[in-house]
Amino acid sequence: MDQALSSKKIIALYLSPGLLLLLALVYIPIFQTGYFGLMEWNGISQMSFVGLENYALLIRDAAFWDSAWHSLLLAVFSALSLIGYLLISLVLAGKIKGANFLRKIYLIPMLLASVAIAQLWMKIYHPTNGILNTMLMAIGISDPPAWLAEPSLALFAIFIPIIWQYAGFYILIFYAALKNIPESLVESAKIDGASAWDIAWKIKVPLIMNVIKVTIVLAVVGSLKYFDLIYVMTNGGPNGASEVMASYMYGQAFSRFDFGYASAIGFFLLVICLMITWLIRKVTVTDEDIQY
């Protein structure tokens, strides 16, 4: 075994399947998308080269910027929701009764398929016999809104299940990070008379700052390219009121058969995600890495 691992050829051989898959399924398609973005192509006939025309169109496309705004809103909401997850994790990690059980409950949405979640929430939001409106009517609101049909509400109505969907994931990450903090640090803080609040914000949170930074990137980038629930629940409607960048791109490609333009959007989306990731890393950079 040692002999095998010391040979460069063998290492290369064993790495190559993964590398090939990664190249074939991720990097080559990315470059292809970039290439298609310079073409006018309906997916069937011959492509024709149009240079940066698709990108020029993109800059002027108000509907796209609406969807970009919705994606940005989702990113902000997801990032803010991290605060809530962090609070929950702090409580869970603070040795309360049934923490283990609660942690599993929070994780369940993670285990459901997106389409199942979408179906579930569509039932909840159903305008006449959904559980939400039935409850609202029971407490005396005679005409509760049709959540997914109101342009002003549809987007936010979908944000809730999206945030709910990922709660378990982030709580799991925070919980694991908090559990990694040595008990001795907390003990000595207690002896020094620190309150639970102080321990949480001045000791625990700074110690897991690196993890928090990663979750911010995950939440923001994940939101920017978010697609599934929106596609199933409203398909971007009514009339674009809940459209996000990824669903807009899908519509351009598979409903309008404008694969060139859709590829340009896809490539642009990749660039935005890379830039934002870099930006977040830059902004949240700390002078020193706190070690324990």
Partner 1 sequence: MKKKALTFSAAALSAALIMGGCSSGEETSGTAGDSEKVVKFMHLWPTGSSKQHNMIAADIIAEYEENNPGVTVETEVLENEQYKNKIKVLSSSNDLPDVGVTWAAGYLQPFVEGELFAPLDDVLDDGLQDQFVAGTTEAYAIDDQTYGLPLELNIAPIYYNKAIFEEHGVEVPETYEEFKEVVETLEAAGVPPIALGNKDRWTGSLWYMYLADRFGGPEVLTKAINREESFEDPALEKAAEEIQWLVDANAFNKGFNGLSNEEGKSEFMNGNAAMYLMGTWELPNYTTNEDVPQEFRDSIGFFKFPEVEDGAGDIDSWVGGPGVGLFVSENSEVKDEAKEFVKFFVEKWGERSVTDAGVIPATVVDTGAVDLPEMYIDVLDELGNASNLTLFADVQMSANVAETHLNLIQSLYGNEVTPADFVKQHEEALAAE
Q: Binding residues for partner 1, per CB under 8 A? A: 4, 42-46, 122, 125-128, 146-151, 154, 234-235, 237-240, 251, 255-258
For the CA atoms of the chain, what is the radius of gyration?
24
CB-based burial of residue 57 (10 Å sphere; 0-12 exposed, 13-18 middle, 19+ buried)? middle
| Shortest separation between residue 11's beta carbon and partner 1, angstroms | 13
- 257 close to 269: Cβ distance less than 8 angstroms: no
Nearest CB to partner 1, comparing residues 226 and 248: 248
Nearest CB to partner 1, comparing residues 9 and 95: 9
| Shortest separation between residue 252's beta carbon and partner 1, angstroms | 9
Nearest CB to partner 1, comparing residues 160 and 172: 160
Nearest CB to partner 1, comparing residues 43 and 206: 43
The C-alpha atoms of residue 113 and residue 123 are separated, in whole angstroms, by 16
Residues in the chain, overall count: 292
Nearest CB to partner 1, comparing residues 32 and 42: 42
The CA angle 51-55-61, to the nearest 5 degrees, is 140
Nearest CB to partner 1, comparing residues 19 and 91: 19
Strand, coil or helix: 228: helix
* Residue 48 dihedral angles phi and psi, to the nearest 5°: -130, 140
Nearest CB to partner 1, comparing residues 256 and 281: 256
Which of 251, 245, 230 lies closest to 122, judged by CA?
Answer: 230
Which of 28, 139, 15, 165 lies closest to 85, judged by CA?
Answer: 165
Mark 174-212 as b/e (b = at least 16 C-beta within 10 Å): bbebbeebeeeebeebeeeeeeeeebbeebbeebbeebb
| Shortest separation between residue 116's beta carbon and partner 1, angstroms | 16
| Shortest separation between residue 234's beta carbon and partner 1, angstroms | 7
| Shortest separation between residue 148's beta carbon and partner 1, angstroms | 3
| Shortest separation between residue 197's beta carbon and partner 1, angstroms | 43
CA distances to 20, 236, 267 from 63, rounded to whole Å, are 38, 11, 17
| Shortest separation between residue 73's beta carbon and partner 1, angstroms | 19
